[in-house]
Amino acid sequence: MQAALLCFLPVALALATFTEKDYCNRQYCAWSPDLVLWCNHTSGILNLGKNIPVYNISLVNGTMTVGLYRAFDCFNESGSMLDSSKPKRSITLGQQYTLSDTRNKLTVFGCDTSALISDAAGTFGSGCFSYCREHIDFTTESACSGLGCCQTSIPKSLRSLNMSMSSSTNYTSVQSLSSCGSTFVVDQETFNVSIYKLPVPADMQKEVYSNAVLDWVVQRNLTCKEAQSNRSIYACGGANSNCSDFTNGQGYRCFCKPGYTGNPYASPGCQDIDECKDPRQYPCHGNCKNTPGNYTCNCPFGMTGDGKVGCQISRLAIVAAVIALPICGITSVALVIDKWRRTRKQKNFRRNGGQLLKHQRVQIFTEVELAKATNNYDDSNKLGEGGGFGSVYKGEIAGGTMVAVKKPKDVHKSLIKGDFQQELEIVMQINHKNVVKLHGICLETRIPLLVYEYISNGTLSQHIHRNTSTILRSWKNRLRIATEAALALEYMHSCAEPPIIHGDIKSVNILLDQNYSVKVSDFGTSVLISPEHSHVLANEIQGTWGYIDPEYLVTGMLTVKSDIYSFGAVLVELLTGKKPTHFITKSEESINIIHYFISSVKDKTLYNIINFEGASEDEMERVGMVAEIAVKCLDQSGARRPSMSEVAAQLTRINRELDGLTIEENNEYEVDEENLPSHSTSVICETSLLGRQALCFDQ
């Protein structure tokens, strides 16, 4: 039955180039050889070519879900690649098929796994690198966060793909990391990172498939106009179908007109949808009547408006209710008021984009739910101010989950759309373990409410400046916190699409959860930057004094290097315990802590500003290296500051060394020039504070 259903589409698409006898003998599932579909009529298995299984064919979207090989890169204890980790790594499709660039992503798993992709002609190349300090538990994750798993987009019009994998780790000396990585192309809509494990289990190191999506077309060498000029070969049948040229290459596809459904390629073709039978998909708040290709919806008596959008009580009905008050009593008025309130909430929901957002992967809360969760926004639940947008309250939703509700200020409605939609657009695309997650939104209020995960251990600022904190008594914890914050910023700068500039990095916006892991928060001043731009010209300077990039103050241009300067200020605060606005008196002269810190590092007098009491020599060495990174980040020229990828890589290496990895004394740090960012022109390595290892940055 499955094979019969799947074979119906290609038969409808096919040009009659084969006789029925040829079709049966060849076991083609399509009569056109360009579609290269084969089916086993006994087992019901459908294949693209002879070895790519087909799971689903969509007439509505013009897509096909298939299984593509996963590639593995596995090593044994001696450091040799296993023969079992050498499956097919090349994918070649027929002329009618293209890998969907909107649905698929190249995905890499491993603690030290690089993957590169290219087409058969070598006209493009791309890839990503997956790394981690320890084995990652994906069971609580919903998407690749950058640690143990990375993803990158694939280009348009791709019909062939070559995948290559490599590892930079010497597996004869490092056995604590996963020695088996994998890479594959996968459909993002069905991809679930929580089912994967590191190291890759033995039963997964076989030739297994991942679900990928192909775009298919009819007659790749023809456009709609060319095909319609010859009705004998035109594939779209019936009066209720439309032809659409393929936007990701040549060819065309057929679709049912709006208000119709069915198979646009074969008889009986597209049929009218009775919208009145499906009120969830086709809303109607009044009297519904089906029409060819559409439907009408009239509001009930006494109400006005577009019944598809919503109906409001007419003024006449309100007057009538007031006149009838002595007769109908207070109950009738209460019903009118309740109806008005529900209508207002529906209007706010639609105005705030509810029809679109309810189809996104975000929970929609009601106004009543959040008021109950926060005890009607009682002051005892207030966590603090969320930038210029409003206040943040602790709450408990159904099921006992703690959340942080960001309640906006009652500002003029002209200010609502930009602030709210900008922050929502940013946080909805972020998924990183060191960035606070969005639980959901409430759209029933005039200004929407954002609901974030609740972070229980306060801000980094509180831990630095209150003597009650014990977590920062360890240098190892301070450097780990710095590294996790850097990894979150690296994700926003390098992995998010489009890249994100946070715009207000400071210790108050770095939260610590129950495990004292970093959660970067507050995206009220964040911006998205398009690939063709390197900066955003701000209408007004935003941020916090002491953390603001001086170049941004002068030019008004916000760049990723502005975040790097702010991060450098946080490093100084984390190392010294002083706020960036703090001044130190020296020789009867007041000197800002930032300037004093920079001069102390350059003069090798860091001991004067940082308390190394109780620190080992190795810890002192690593703290000195982090101090030098901070100085690089605080360079007055943004062009000379390192990228956040470089900063995160340096801090990750320092943490690995503190975690006990082998450190070779008096040995310069080797720079892998092949893996430097593409824009690098040279590398400068500088001796660290105590003269042991070198820090390397792009220039």
The answer to whether 34 is a known catalytic residue is no
3-class DSSP state for residue 1? coil
Residues 59, 9: contact at Cβ < 8 Å?
yes
Per-residue pLDDT, 508: 93
DSSP element (H, E) containing 620: helix 617-633
**How far is C-alpha 196 from the chain's CA centre?**
18
Q: Which residues pair with 298 in a beta bridge?
A: 287
- What is each CA distance from 128 to 24, 88, 307, 550, 560, in whole angstroms? 45, 20, 50, 33, 20
Torsion, Cα 272 273 276 277, to 10 degrees, reads: 130
Per run of 10 residues, the mean pLDDT along the chain (length 699 residues) is: 36 36 48 71 80 87 89 68 55 84 90 83 81 78 82 86 77 49 90 82 66 88 88 83 86 90 86 92 91 92 83 71 56 58 61 55 85 92 72 90 85 48 75 90 82 93 87 92 96 87 93 95 75 65 88 89 96 95 83 94 91 85 95 96 96 87 37 36 37 40
Which residue(s) pair with 382 in the sheet? Answer: 393
For helices 644-658 and 560-576, the axis angle rounded to 10 degrees is 30
User: How many whole angstroms separate alpha carbon 648 and alpha carbon 146?
Assistant: 12
Say whether pTM exceeds 0.75: no
Euclidean distance between CA atoms 473 and 615, whole angstroms: 10
CA distance 233 to 34: 15
pLDDT at 593: 94
Cα 491 to the chain's mean position, in Å? 9
Helix, strand, coil % (nearest 5) of the chain? 30, 25, 45
Q: What is the C-alpha separation between 410 and 320, in angstroms, rounded?
A: 33
**β pairing state of 527-528 and 500-501:** antiparallel
Q: Are 259 and 266 in contact (CB under 8 A)?
A: no
Helix boundaries (H) for 435-559: 460-465, 475-490, 550-555
**Token representation of residue 478:** 């301070």
Point out the catalytic residue in the list 73, 215, 419, 504: 504
CA 451 to CA 386: how far, in whole Å? Answer: 12
CB 580 within 8 A of CB 572: yes
How far apart are the C-alpha atoms of 629 and 634, rounded to whole Å? 9
Ordered structural domains, the chain, with CATH: 1-46 (no CATH), 63-216 (no CATH), 277-351 (no CATH), 357-453 (3.30.200.20), 462-698 (1.10.510.10)
* Widest CA span in the chain: 101
Q: Which two tokens stand for residue 413?
A: 């409605």
Residue with tokens 């009905």: 317
Q: Is the preceding omega at residue 53 within 30 degrees of 0, hence cis?
A: no
CA dihedral 225, 230, 236, 238 (to 10 degrees): 120
**C-alpha torsion sign, points 567, 572, 575, 576:** negative
Tell me whether residue 364 is exposed, middle or buried, using C-beta atoms within 10 angstroms of its C-beta: 0 to 12, 13 to 18, 19 or more.
middle
The whole-angstrom separation of Cα 144 and Cα 132 is 12
Between CA 281 and CA 640 the distance in angstroms is 54
Q: What distance in Å separates the CA atoms of residue 68 and residue 52, rounded to the nearest whole number? A: 7
- Distance from C-alpha of 526 to C-alpha of 534, rounded to nearest angstrom: 15
Pairing mode, strands 209-216 and 149-153: unpaired
Tell how many helices (H) and how many strands (E) occur in the chain. 16, 38
| HEC letters along 259-325 | CEEECCCCCCCEEECCHHHCCCCCCCCCEEEEECCEEEEECCCCEECCCCCCCEECHHHHHHHHHCH
**CA separation for the pair 195, 666 (Å, rounded):** 44
- The C-alpha atoms of residue 15 and residue 33 are separated, in whole angstroms, by 9
What pLDDT score does 625 carry? 95
Total residue length of the chain:
699
Write out the DSSP string of 536-598: EE-SS--S-TTTS-HHHHHH-EE-HHHHHHHHHHHHHHHHHS--TT-EEEETTEEEEHHHHHH
Interatomic CA distance for residues 388 and 500, integer angstroms: 19
- The number of angstroms, rounded, from the C-alpha of 287 to the middle of its chain's C-alpha atoms is 42
Q: Give the E-state strand segments of 369-427 in sequence order.
A: 382-385, 390-396, 402-408
CB atoms within 10 A of CB 329: 10
Q: Which two tokens stand for residue 7?
A: 């074979």
Question: How far apart are the C-alpha atoms of 194 and 144, rounded to whole Å?
Answer: 9
Alpha helices (H) in 124-247, listed in sequence order: 224-228
Question: What DSSP state is assigned to residue 133?
Answer: S
CB atoms within 10 A of CB 160: 13
CA distances from 356 to 189, 452, 619 (A): 17, 20, 52
* Cα 178 from Cα 75, distance rounded (Å): 9
* Residue 635 CB-half CA count within 13 A: 14
Taking CA atoms, 652 is separated from 161, 282, 573, 660, in Å, by: 32, 52, 19, 13
CB 612 within 8 A of CB 620: yes
Is 490 within 8 Å of 648 (Cβ atoms)?
Answer: yes
Q: Which amino acid is at 237?
A: G
User: In the numeric block, which tokens belong to residue 591?
Assistant: 């000197």
End-to-end CA distance of the chain: 63
Cis peptide before 258 (omega within 30 of 0): no
344 CB neighbour count, 10 Å cutoff: 14
